[in-house]
Amino acid sequence: MNILLLSPLPPPSGGIARWTQRYLEWCKKKHHVIVVNTALKGERAGEAGKQRNLSDEIKRAVYIIHETKKSLKESPNIAHINTSCSRFGILRDWICMRLARRKSIPVVVQCHCNIEDQLGKKGIAVRLFADLVRKSRKILVLNNCSKRYVDEIETEKVALCPNFVLTVQIAKEHEIRSRIEKAIYVGDVRLSKGSDDYYALAKRNPDIQFVVVGSVTSEMSQAEKPSNVYTTGRLDAEEVEKWLDAADVFIFPSHTEGFSNAMLEAMARGLPIIATDVGAALDMIENKGGTIVRSHDINEMQYAMNQMQNPEIRGKMSKWNIKKVEQCYEYEHVLEKLFSLYEEIL
């Protein structure tokens, strides 16, 4: 199969960029993939949480549209557009969809976000997205919230397509200590990710080390960091895995999310999870591989932490998470389903 993929590649190494790398690795022996790199350009590429620069975004859009036009000359069988559904990005994605349709190339759009959080319910971006849905052959989403959003525009066109991990990322087991000594969060330190709540939980538990694997954004740089919080900065995948293996519980306090790669990777290493009820979190752990709490509710987070001090509870959660990842989120399993969808369209 000849596939045109519009998707970011590192740097920076965000969730969609890692998805792209794994997709290409899986495809290389079976399919030909033409990649249009949609990665961030300019200042936003170098600093986490940097505000959008209109000039950089226009240059990026012009580059992507130009490369899409050029790549369509190779006559791909299908065009797959990965989008984060940003208000500016949806215009660019809509233009690229129209270019592919002019060549009679079917378009699949995959939304790597919680759509309503990104677009809302009104405005030009919402109307563009609705047209994108109607004129694409398939819309892939990460969670049931986004599925309902698309269903309101057009039914029977949307499919759930979760993120995935490589087989080698899945642990055989996770060491369960007698008590929680180390909690971990993987991601940038920013308000939308609930980092202030993570700090607040750390203050309540001074005998537990709270690790942050990620960069501190400018909006959180002046926040008071508790003495038991240790920030590593951004790390490569192998180093992240080592930190996950050394922890006892993964905390995901985000206020918005589609399908967290960081949480999925923690599940794959057998870590029990405390997560806010956003995006696909409940679908992922089902209150069996961890505990779902309300956003901003530090008391609920603390209660979950107290319950997980029991090593037997953490042990059951750990085993359940590894099994769930093996059965539902291993990359061969997910990508085979994705390519079955391609074949149905063709």
Model confidence pLDDT, tens digit, residues 136-147: 999 999 999 999
DSSP letter for 288, please.
Answer: T
Predicted confidence (pLDDT) per residue in 261-293, tens digit? 999 999 999 999 999 999 999 999 999 999 999
User: What is the pTM (predicted TM-score) of this model?
Assistant: 0.91
Shared domain for 175 and 298, answered yes or no, is yes
- Residue 12's pLDDT is 78
- Residue 333's pLDDT is 94
Shared domain for 192 and 299, answered yes or no, is yes
Q: Can you tell me the mean pLDDT for 229-246? A: 95
Shared domain for 147 and 185, answered yes or no, is no
- CA dist., res. 272 & res. 315, Å (int): 8
- Residue 21's pLDDT is 93
Contact, 254 vs 294, CB < 8 A?
no
- Residue 45's pLDDT is 55
Q: What percent of the chain has pLDDT over 90?
A: 88
Higher pLDDT, 2 or 15: 2
Strands 273-276 and 290-293, by their bridges, are parallel
- CA dist., res. 342 & res. 339, Å (int): 5
- Residue 184's pLDDT is 98
Shared domain for 153 and 302, answered yes or no, is no
Q: Can you tell me the mean pLDDT for 149-171? A: 95
Shared domain for 271 and 260, answered yes or no, is yes
Sign of CA dihedral 189, 190, 194, 195: positive
Q: What percent of the chain has pLDDT over 70?
A: 97
Shared domain for 195 and 309, answered yes or no, is yes
User: What is the signed CA dihedral for 337, 340, 344, 346, rounded to 10 degrees?
Assistant: 130
Strand order in the sheet with 290-293: 229-231, 209-213, 182-186, 249-252, 273-276, 290-293
Q: Can you tell me the mean pLDDT for 55-72? A: 95
Shared domain for 173 and 313, answered yes or no, is yes
pLDDT above 70 (res 44): no
| Residue 195 Rama label (left phi>0; alpha psi -120 to 50; beta) | alpha
pLDDT above 90 (res 255): yes
Shared domain for 80 and 159, answered yes or no, is yes
Q: How many CB atoms lie within 10 A of CB 344?
A: 10
Range of the domain at 86: 2-164+331-345
Residue found by looking up tokens 């060549």 in the block:
103
- Residue 14's pLDDT is 80
Contact, 272 vs 318, CB < 8 A?
yes
Q: Can you tell me the mean pLDDT for 147-169? A: 94
What b/e sequence results for 124-159 when a residue is b if at least 16 CB atoms lie within 10 Å of its CB, and e otherwise? ebbebbeebbeebbbbbbbbebbbebbbebeeeebb
- Residue 11's pLDDT is 84
- Residue 247's pLDDT is 98
Predicted confidence (pLDDT) per residue in 181-229, tens digit? 999 999 999 999 999 999 999 999 999 999 999 989 888 988 999 999 9
What b/e sequence results for 261-276 when a residue is b if at least 16 CB atoms lie within 10 Å of its CB, and e otherwise? bbbbbbbbbbbbbbbb
Shared domain for 337 and 278, answered yes or no, is no
Q: What's the number of domains the chain is made of?
A: 2
Shared domain for 159 and 172, answered yes or no, is no
Predicted confidence (pLDDT) per residue in 79-105, tens digit? 999 999 998 899 999 999 999 999 999
| pLDDT band of 172, cuts 50, 70, 90 | very high
Shared domain for 176 and 296, answered yes or no, is yes
Contact, 199 vs 230, CB < 8 A?
no
Q: What is the CATH number of the domain that holds 93?
A: 3.40.50.2000
Contact, 35 vs 3, CB < 8 A?
no
| pLDDT band of 43, cuts 50, 70, 90 | low
Shared domain for 275 and 179, answered yes or no, is yes
> How does the average pLDDT of the chain come out, rounded?
94
